[in-house]
Structure 1
């Protein structure tokens, strides 16, 4: 039985990146906490259908390369040439003895490849020889000379071609053996020049190539959007009425014909909020942190619970974007104390009052709140979570 041929990713990182401005070659510069090159290498190394990853580098960059790829399972690098074409050819030829079945050739300056895109490229090669990702151009394109528009360009068949570009290895290896004076800009051009049919699948808008300084800014914004996600969490609490002449809601003492029964100050609003916040950081619930059977919490102000919880929230690099609180009761009338409650809550969680909504409602006589037996609160919190933490 014929042994399965491996799938290899060849990453081109042999350029000087002069258009990216002064400093290190762009592939070794920092992007959102990692060297640019490492972003794509980590994705390729983790992919279950890719057996080997090899990088083409400049000889003078080898110390840099060793530093930024520390800990990654990579083949020994190969030195590139003066042009992208020469570097890709050197890389492809260096894999002759390994004889892979499939090769993915990728520009190391494209950090946003995804496992899904890699899957699509590899699976497409079951019936094709060459497959590349691309995005159809939809913006108006003009031919311009010396700052003047000469003519419009027909966009009906124009695509922006990206990498990785996937090939049956034997086919692209043979294509690179042909002598050519063309300085091909990508491997699809080499394949097509040798007579190989190149197929295009839908690429990714975010799969940009870092070329000039502002591309680093654009990439950083994309990274931030991917890292930061919105989570919506809820908390609920209820306390029954007992003796007293006031209730405490959001740290505000509010006159009432009854008090609320609780182990602490029975601030049902802050308790619901604490529960929501703990849910958002996978921190359990309020009962785990402040058990009602522990004497030290008796009669304690619930803003202490909130202060403790906010410390945990901040330690987890989570930010509160919005708080929505619904107080369910027949009395007191929440509308009369809403602003005071919002002001106090704004101080406690360090969130603008504009991002805090508090409203009161009744259940039209239904349930224990409808019978005037107590107060319930539903707290909904929108949180911005850093997925890398």
Structure 2
């Protein structure tokens, strides 16, 4: 289990997170007939945005995502590009789903656990850090913000009955943080006594005798529920720093029996010469990804003088570049690779190449492109002395750009 770094106001402790994503609510509105956590936001499901924020915070070695049994397979595939993700099957209520996530963490037994709604895709690292810092053995932490609007009590017919005093009233957010053993015991007791009506995790803690401390939340940490929420979230994500990186690579053809291009082995009457497997497509893509956050090039991270990389499969390089992009707060939007060769024919292998790139980058198939062209018999490529590749990658880094 990861031990959190010593930061001002943040004690050293092990931490895990639970993301509650088992709900079936459809209040997000038509034409979306599936749970809101899977609705696309800037091309990616809301759930992935929420999980990515937790992963990128660097606070958690384990994140348990609690899902409906019907959604387990697609959620595993969706989040397969992130390290430290585990899964639990949710129950009929939110409380039961949280209990399932806590039970999944029983063996790991982190010191603290944060419980987060899958429908909150904009939680920030500072809020997470404040929650963690405030947790004590019998003291939970709740991020929230004061209510600025005047509050009215309204009857079923829409008539205002009274103005409600908003003094001391705050809107509760997630992630809510707890001492792991304390909140696990609270949920065990609630289940044993047949209490399944808690809709908020701090409410379970309060019922079990645990105090709750309010910490500063964030006005951006909104929960997406209704159609207008999604429209505003989509507009926010359009106001982002999108970087485009380019990469180029070329390798000489020598006698051999195959080439590897974009992760696919293809029988051929030659081989590409290089320190690794000489996959020009993946080498170019690695450089394109690294370029989006100024992280050097493939030679910076995998120098040809290092014997560890002799004959290495180039998907290692791409995955490393993907991890650097994510560490810098980036989300890959799309990748495009053009292979330049007289032979072999690329088209019969294009689908396999696209699938390989999608798996390495975590992108949907529609965001991956592989094309091929010849050099019309001109130059060293035209003479079949080598194969080249050009790659482009687009990455969004949010309003603040790369970290």
TM-score by length of 2: 0.54
The alignment status of 1:151 with 2:162, answered yes or no, reads yes
SS in 1 for 2:85: coil
Q: CA deviation at 1:24?
A: 2.6
2-side partners of 1:99 and 1:110: how far apart? Answer: 25
The alignment status of 1:218 with 2:232, answered yes or no, reads yes
2-side partners of 1:41 and 1:50: how far apart? Answer: 11
Pairing partner for 2:19 from 11, 17, 23: 11
2-side partners of 1:176 and 1:71: how far apart? Answer: 31
Residue in 1 aligned with 2:151? 141
Q: CA deviation at 1:226?
A: 4.6
SS in 2 for 1:76: strand
The alignment status of 1:129 with 2:139, answered yes or no, reads yes
| Matched-pair contact (CA < 8 Å) for 1:17–1:26 | yes
Please say which structure displays the higher CA radius of gyration: 1
SS in 1 for 2:18: strand
Pairing partner for 2:129 from 107, 119, 125: 119
TM-score by length of 1: 0.56
Aligned-residue Cα RMSD (Å) equals 2.6
Q: CA deviation at 1:222?
A: 2.2
Residue in 2 aligned with 1:295? none
Q: How does 1:2-151 map to 2 (within 5 A)?
A: 6-21=14-29, 22-125=32-135, 129-145=139-155, 146-151=157-162
Runs of 4+ in 1 over 3 A off after TM superposition: 225-229, 385-388
Q: CA deviation at 1:130?
A: 0.4
- Tell me the alpha carbon deviations over residues 35-67 of structure 1, each in whole angstroms, 9 at most, x when there is no partner: 111112112112222221110000001122123
Pairing partner for 2:185 from 158, 174, 194: 174
Question: Structure 1 136/180 Cα, relative in aligned 2: closer, same or farther at 3 Å?
Answer: farther
| Matched-pair contact (CA < 8 Å) for 2:55–2:82 | yes
SS in 2 for 1:20: coil
- Tell me the alpha carbon deviations over residues 293-341 of structure 1, each in whole angstroms, 9 at most, x when there is no partner: xxxxxxxxxxxxxxxxxxxxxxxxxxxxxxxxxxxxxxxxxxxxxxxxx
Q: CA deviation at 1:168?
A: 0.6
SS in 2 for 1:200: strand
2-side partners of 1:74 and 1:213: how far apart? Answer: 32
1-side partners of 2:130 and 2:240: how far apart? Answer: 21
Aligned length: 234
Q: CA deviation at 1:187?
A: 0.3
Q: How does 1:263-282 map to 2 (within 5 A)?
A: none
SS in 1 for 2:97: helix
SS in 2 for 1:123: helix
Q: How does 1:216-295 map to 2 (within 5 A)?
A: 216-227=230-241
| Matched-pair contact (CA < 8 Å) for 2:134–2:213 | no
Question: Structure 1 202/180 Cα, relative in aligned 2: closer, same or farther at 3 Å?
Answer: farther
SS in 2 for 1:55: strand
Q: CA deviation at 1:180?
A: 4.4
Residue in 1 aligned with 2:262? none
Pairing partner for 1:192 from 181, 203, 206: 206
Identify unmatched segments of 5+ residues in structure 1. Answer: 230-281, 283-384
Q: CA deviation at 1:126?
A: 5.4
1-side partners of 2:16 and 2:42: how far apart? Answer: 27
Q: CA deviation at 1:386?
A: 9.9
| Matched-pair contact (CA < 8 Å) for 2:61–2:84 | no
